[in-house]
């Protein structure tokens, strides 16, 4: 994972990622370590749920993480030696373009802060899954099969959007049809937004709507804002709206 030793007179863009060179397309093209980390957030969130972690306290802890990473980014973007050292240790999770830019994880955390700061437990769970799994599915299938389908937005393909939709449907169905029924004692009634006995929308319908917002939020390009932010924001807003019926 090491990178070449820097020179104080060499611009940051010349920092080499030895991990990218050694593992080749597994990192540079397929971004395997990055996707594994991205997807693991969904599993970690489910683990917290079954452990009974108070979801109302997560936003404040995420805010601390956001400030910490932001400070590190400010330092590394203004201190070449520290940037070199930072890239040496986390280079496998970074894109070369991120050497001179703020870390994409900042947008990821901001999106999660928005969810856990304003919405109920089921909406938070679904938003994290759509961000963690639908986005990863879209990226994976988009890179693999995107050339076979039309482009629907900047660097977005129909193949990726369809993958996001399918995984989104499965994710929402899993939350409402499996996870919440299996652990009824872990949530108060008021902590859950959608209750099948009180809603005009059935589980299959609410699942399809979840797939739709997963595909839409992943595929849309809003002023070049990182989709790690737009996906959880749009997903939580949309799911909070449709679960009101």
More confident residue, 1 or 170: 170
The DSSP code sequence of 87-129 is HHHHGGGS-GGGGGS--THHHHHHHHHHHHHHS-HHHHHHHHH
Structure tokens at 185: 């004692």
Q: Are 41 and 154 in contact (CB under 8 A)?
A: no
Question: How far apart, in whole angstroms, are the C-alpha atoms of residue 151 and residue 142?
Answer: 10
The span from the CA of 211 to the CA of 218, in Å, is 11
Confirm if 3 and 15 have CB atoms less than 8 A apart: yes
Q: What is the pLDDT of residues 144-173, one digit of tens each?
A: 887 778 887 667 788 889 999 999 999 999
Q: Average pLDDT of the chain?
A: 83
Copy the structure tokens of residue 161: 């959007």
Phi, psi of 153 (to 5 degrees): -165, 180
Residue 98's pLDDT is 67
Residue 169 in any domain: the answer is yes
Contact present, 121 and 55 (Cβ < 8 Å): yes
CA distance 202 to 223: 35
For 139, the domain range is 12-242
> What does the block give as tokens for 144?
């693999």
The secondary structure of residue 153, as a DSSP letter, is E
In this prediction, residue 16 has a pLDDT band, given cuts at 50, 70 and 90, of low
Nearest to 239 by CA among 131, 99, 106: 131
87 confidence band (pLDDT: 50, 70, 90): confident
CA gap 181, 96 in Å, rounded: 44
Domain count, the chain: 1
23: pLDDT strictly greater than 80: no
Are 112 and 232 in contact by the 8 Å Cβ rule? The answer is yes
Residue at 166 is within a domain = yes
Asked whether residue 4 is assigned to any structural domain, the reply reads no
Spatial separation of the C-alpha atoms in residues 131 and 76, rounded to whole Å: 27
Please say if the pLDDT value at position 118 is more than 70.
yes
Whole-number Å distance between alpha carbons of 130 and 154: 20
195 domain residue, yes or no? yes
pLDDT digits (tens, 9 = 90+) for 42-65: 899 999 999 999 999 999 999 999
What pLDDT, on a 0 to 100 scale, did the predictor assign at position 92? Answer: 64
User: Is it the case that residue 25 has pLDDT exceeding 70?
Assistant: no
**Does residue 7 lie within any of the structural domains?**
no
Q: Has residue 5 been placed in a domain?
A: no
Asked whether residue 2 is domain-assigned, the answer is no
Rounded Cα–Cα distance for residues 171 and 7 (Å): 48
Domain membership of residue 68 (yes or no) is yes
């Amino acid at each position: 994972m090491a990178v070449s030793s820097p020179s104080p007179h060499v611009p940051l863009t010349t920092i080499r990622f030895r991990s990218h060179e050694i593992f080749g397309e597994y990192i540079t093209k397929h971004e395997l370590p990055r996707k594994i980390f991205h997807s693991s957030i969904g599993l970690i969130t489910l683990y917290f749920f079954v452990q009974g972690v108070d979801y109302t306290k997560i936003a404040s802890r995420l805010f601390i993480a956001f400030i910490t990473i932001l400070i590190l980014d400010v330092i590394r973007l203004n201190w070449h030696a520290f940037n070199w050292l930072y890239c040496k240790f986390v280079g496998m999770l970074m894109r070369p373009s991120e050497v001179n830019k703020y870390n994409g994880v900042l947008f990821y955390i901001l999106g999660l802060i928005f969810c856990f700061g304003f919405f109920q437990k089921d909406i938070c769970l679904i938003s994290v899954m759509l961000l963690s799994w639908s986005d990863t599915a879209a990226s994976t299938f988009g890179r693999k099969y995107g050339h076979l389908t039309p482009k629907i937005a900047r660097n977005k393909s129909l193949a990726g959007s369809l993958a996001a939709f399918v995984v989104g449907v499965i994710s929402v169905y899993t939350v409402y049809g499996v996870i919440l029924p299996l652990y009824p004692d872990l949530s108060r009634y008021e902590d859950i937004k959608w209750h099948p006995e009180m809603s005009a929308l059935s589980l299959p319908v609410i699942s399809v709507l979840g797939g739709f917002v997963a595909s839409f939020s992943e595929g849309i390009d809003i002023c070049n804002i990182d989709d790690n932010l737009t996906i959880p924001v749009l997903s939580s807003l949309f799911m909070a709206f449709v679960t009101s019926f």
